[in-house]
């Protein structure tokens, strides 16, 4: 028993769930993505701004810690003055706080266009590609009520996807307007405060269209739905006609000719449509005795479609067709603060995971108009619209797609230790390489044989090693071995060919030509020197 106390309960090295460590390949991939996004955002005229990861909880929005569920959704804690603080869960609310503090001063010019990226935190169940700490990249325009600001967000989203190497056709920016859905719900009798809960249930059901299909949504709008594990989700309890109308709206194909969805009330061609505004509406809507006329005359729906039409016109004018930016009445987006147009970027390709199962990445970014968010801090209305990219999720998708990060970055040049007594000489060689901006390191392990040192360099993905044994030293030379060339040698069967390549892969140069020779070797393999 006594000897066991040597290692009593070994501390288990472990990471809290939903969090992840990131190695060189992932970090390099993230850098590359952030750089691509930043370039596009700056091209659009947005300027950088940074806010801290911690804010007062009440500034972040609705998630106030309460007794029952103190940390639901958001990580919160109390300051020593007992005020509640939280880790930010998005970048929009902190921006609203930032703007509200500066609006009307010389430190903020309206319309204010800014971008920022950083870690955000959500205390919720993690899943594949879903973490409790993840990177977001946002752009926002504050103080511009015009739809031109929204159209710009959509074009920005499309340009960013392409800058990230996602080909046109493999993504789509979907645009909807919260006013359209709000109008529909109002007309079918779900207006008013007393129906707020039901409206939420309906919107949630609509949001699941791409995942559950129209049958699943139909069930959720009605009685409810049972999933494959037997769990039952209670539905919104709409009647058949209400359900038909909601589904009918979702199915209207507005993507490719949205302008046609809005026709002026006084268009003579519409005489037979009772002065309505919707064109090509499904029978469920036009035939509805109860709601048909009201739907077609709804001012809210008309306003919403009018805004969508403006966005459509603006992006089309700039050359962005429906292959990149489409109007889609099924997009819901956040339930909380959006007040007008909402956008969502979806990846449209499917890929399989390592077990061959299809993985949907779905939405990798989104945003919308939130005219109420800044005004929470101020009496006056402040229009704002923004767009946000989930960098972490997008990175997971791009990695799975093979666009990112699978290949190791080239390592440093390794100077081997041949003669233990001459470490200083080798260190000097390293220093001369470093002085020439070449990544280089001395082998710091046990130098008892050269083979191990080559193995090490190989594992580091070093482009080459430098060797100087007694023979080279006597001739005033160093040996350079090209590991990248050498890597292919074992595959070569032909002896002459092998010897030729071998000679290319390993060569001696005068000691004072070391730096130049290494530089040439790196250039041959397209490795940047700093």
Chain residues that interact with RNA, rule: CB under 7 A = 9-10, 12, 17-18, 61-63, 73-74, 89-90, 92-93, 122-128, 200-201, 204, 208, 211-212, 220, 225, 227-231, 233, 333-337, 418, 445-446, 448-452, 454-455, 457-458, 467, 469-472, 479, 481, 483-487, 489-490, 505-506
Residue 149 to residue 141: CA distance in whole angstroms:
7
Tell me the closest approach of the beta carbon of residue 217 to RNA, in angstroms: 10
Helix, strand, coil shares of the chain, percent, nearest 5, are: 45, 20, 40
- How crowded is residue 112: how many other Cβ atoms within 10 Å of its Cβ? 23
Task: Output 256 or 475, the one with its CB closest to RNA.
Answer: 475
β-pairing, 76-78 vs 54-56, is: unpaired
Task: Output 38 or 473, the one with its CB closest to RNA.
Answer: 473
Task: Output 181 or 295, the one with its CB closest to RNA.
Answer: 181
Residue 152 to residue 162: CA distance in whole angstroms:
15
Residue where the block lists tokens 């082998």: 443
Task: Output 5 or 105, the one with its CB closest to RNA.
Answer: 5
The tally of CA atoms less than 13 A away on the side-chain side of residue 184 is 24
Tell me the closest approach of the beta carbon of residue 382 to RNA, in angstroms: 17
Residue 496 to residue 309: CA distance in whole angstroms:
71
Tell me the closest approach of the beta carbon of residue 491 to RNA, in angstroms: 9
Three-state DSSP at 208 gives: coil
Q: In Å, what is the CA distance from 244 to each residue of 188, 241, 404, 433?
A: 11, 5, 44, 73
Tell me the closest approach of the beta carbon of residue 420 to RNA, in angstroms: 7
Q: In Å, what is the CA distance from 489 to each residue of 240, 411, 495?
A: 72, 20, 11
Tell me the closest approach of the beta carbon of residue 85 to RNA, in angstroms: 14
Asked if residues 363 and 202 have their Cβ atoms less than 8 Å apart, the reply is no
Asked if residues 330 and 246 have their Cβ atoms less than 8 Å apart, the reply is no
Task: Output 73 or 111, the one with its CB closest to RNA.
Answer: 73
Task: Output 13 or 271, the one with its CB closest to RNA.
Answer: 13
Task: Output 100 or 295, the one with its CB closest to RNA.
Answer: 100
Beta bridge partners of 485: none
Tell me the closest approach of the beta carbon of residue 471 to RNA, in angstroms: 3
Question: CA nearest 151: which of 387, 336, 311, 386?
Answer: 311
CB-based burial of residue 303 (10 Å sphere; 0-12 exposed, 13-18 middle, 19+ buried)? middle
Asked if residues 506 and 480 have their Cβ atoms less than 8 Å apart, the reply is yes
In degrees, rounded to 5, the angle at the alpha carbon of residue 426 between the alpha carbons of residues 424 and 432 is 105
Task: Output 91 or 273, the one with its CB closest to RNA.
Answer: 91
- How crowded is residue 34: how many other Cβ atoms within 10 Å of its Cβ? 16
Tell me the closest approach of the beta carbon of residue 6 to RNA, in angstroms: 10
Task: Output 20 or 78, the one with its CB closest to RNA.
Answer: 20
Task: Output 46 or 89, the one with its CB closest to RNA.
Answer: 89
Tell me the closest approach of the beta carbon of residue 514 to RNA, in angstroms: 14
Asked if residues 117 and 34 have their Cβ atoms less than 8 Å apart, the reply is yes
Residue where the block lists tokens 């809290």: 16
Tell me the closest approach of the beta carbon of residue 59 to RNA, in angstroms: 12
Tell me the closest approach of the beta carbon of residue 2 to RNA, in angstroms: 16
């Amino acid at each position: 028993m006594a000897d066991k106390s040597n290692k009593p309960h070994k501390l288990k090295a472990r990471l809290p769930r939903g969090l992840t460590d990131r190695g060189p390949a992932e970090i390099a991939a993230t850098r590359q993505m952030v750089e691509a996004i930043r370039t596009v955002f700056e091209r659009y005229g947005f300027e950088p701004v940074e806010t801290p990861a911690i804010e007062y909880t009440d500034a972040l929005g609705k998630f106030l810690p309460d007794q029952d569920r103190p940390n639901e959704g958001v990580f919160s804690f109390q300051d020593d003055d007992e005020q509640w603080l939280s880790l930010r869960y998005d970048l929009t609310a902190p921006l609203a706080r930032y703007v509200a503090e500066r609006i009307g001063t010389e430190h903020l010019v309206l319309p204010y266009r800014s971008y920022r990226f950083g870690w955000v935190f959500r205390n919720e169940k993690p899943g594949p590609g879903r973490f409790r700490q993840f990177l977001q990249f946002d752009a926002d325009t504050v103080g511009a009520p015009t739809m031109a600001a929204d159209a710009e967000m959509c074009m920005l989203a499309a340009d960013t996807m392409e800058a990230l190497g996602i080909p046109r056709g493999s993504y789509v920016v979907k645009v909807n307007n919260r006013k359209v859905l709000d109008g529909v719900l109002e007309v079918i009798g779900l207006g008013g405060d007393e129906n707020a809960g039901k409206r939420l249930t309906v919107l949630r059901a609509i949001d699941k269209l791409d995942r559950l299909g129209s049958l699943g949504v139909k069930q959720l709008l009605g009685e409810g739905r049972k999933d494959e594990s037997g769990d039952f989700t209670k539905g919104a309890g709409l009647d058949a006609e209400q359900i038909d109308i909601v589904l009918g709206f979702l199915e209207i194909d507005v993507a490719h000719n949205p302008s046609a969805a809005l026709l002026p009330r006084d268009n003579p061609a519409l005489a037979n449509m009772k002065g309505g505004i919707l064109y090509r509406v499904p029978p469920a809507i036009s035939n509805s005795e109860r709601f048909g006329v009201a739907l077609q005359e709804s001012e809210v729906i008309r306003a919403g479609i009018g805004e969508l039409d403006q966005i459509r016109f603006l992006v089309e004018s700039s050359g962005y067709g429906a292959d990149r930016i489409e109007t889609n009445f099924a997009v819901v987006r956040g339930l909380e603060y959006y007040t007008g147009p909402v956008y969502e970027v979806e990846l449209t390709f499917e890929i399989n995971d390592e077990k061959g199962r299809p993985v949907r990445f779905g939405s990798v970014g989104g945003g919308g108009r939130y005219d109420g968010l800044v005004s929470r801090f101020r009496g006056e209305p402040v229009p704002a619209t923004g767009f946000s990219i989930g960098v972490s999720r997008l990175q997971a998708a791009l990695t799975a797609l093979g666009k990112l990060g699978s290949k190791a970055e080239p390592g440093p040049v390794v100077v081997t230790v041949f003669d233990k007594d001459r470490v200083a000489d080798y260190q000097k060689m390293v220093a001369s390489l470093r002085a020439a901006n070449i990544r280089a390191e001395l082998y710091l392990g046990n130098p008892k044989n050269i083979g191990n040192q080559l193995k090490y360099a190989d594992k580091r993905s070093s482009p080459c090693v430098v060797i100087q044994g007694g023979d080279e030293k006597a001739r005033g030379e160093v040996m350079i071995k090209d590991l990248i060339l050498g890597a292919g040698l074992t595959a070569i069967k032909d002896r002459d060919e092998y010897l030729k390549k071998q000679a290319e892969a390993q060569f001696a140069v005068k000691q004072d030509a070391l730096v130049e020779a290494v530089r040439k070797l790196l250039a041959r393999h397209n490795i940047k020197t700093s």
